Amino acid sequence: MTASTPLSLAANDGRPVRDIALADAPLAIRGMTVSYGEKPAVFSVDATFEAGKMTAIIGPNGAGKSTLLKAALGVVPRLSGEVSVYGAPLATARDRIAYVPQRASVDWDFPTTVIDVVLMGLYRKTGLLSRLTGAHKAKALECLDRVGMADFADRQIGQLSGGQQQRVFLSRALAQDADLYLLDEPFAGVDAATERAIIDVLAALKADGKAVVCVHHDLATVSSYFDNVFLINVRRIAEGPVTEAFTPENLHATYGGRLATSHIDQLDLVAGA
66 lies in the binding site for Mg ion (CB under 5 A): yes
In the complex with ligand ADP, the residue whose CB is nearer, 82 or 185, is 185
Residue closer to ligand ADP, measured from CB, 60 or 162: 60
Q: Which does 67 bind (CB under 5 to 8 A by kind): ligand ADP, Mg ion, none?
A: ligand ADP
194 counts as binding Mg ion under rule CB under 5 A: no
Taking the C-alpha atoms of residue 11 and residue 198, their distance in angstroms, rounded to an integer, is 37
The least CB distance from residue 41 to ligand ADP, in Å, is: 4
The item of ligand ADP, Mg ion, none sharing an interface with residue 186, based on CB under 5 to 8 Å by kind, is none
**Among residues 52 and 60, whose Cβ is nearest to Mg ion?**
60
Helices (H), 77-217: 90-93, 114-126, 134-146, 162-175, 192-207
Partner that binds at residue 110, options Mg ion, ligand ADP, none, CB closer than 5 to 8 Å by kind: none
- Interface with Mg ion, residue 233, by CB under 5 A: no
Which residues bind to ligand ADP, rule: CB under 6 A? 36, 41, 59, 61-67
Q: How far is CA 257 from CA 10, 66, 251, 252, 263, in A?
A: 33, 22, 10, 7, 11
Q: What phi and psi values does residue 26 have, to the nearest 5 degrees?
A: -50, -40
What is the DSSP code string of 190-230? --HHHHHHHHHHHHHHHHTT-EEEEE---GGGHHHH-SEEE
Instruction: Compare residues 60 and 87 and give the one whose CB is closer to ligand ADP.
Output: 60
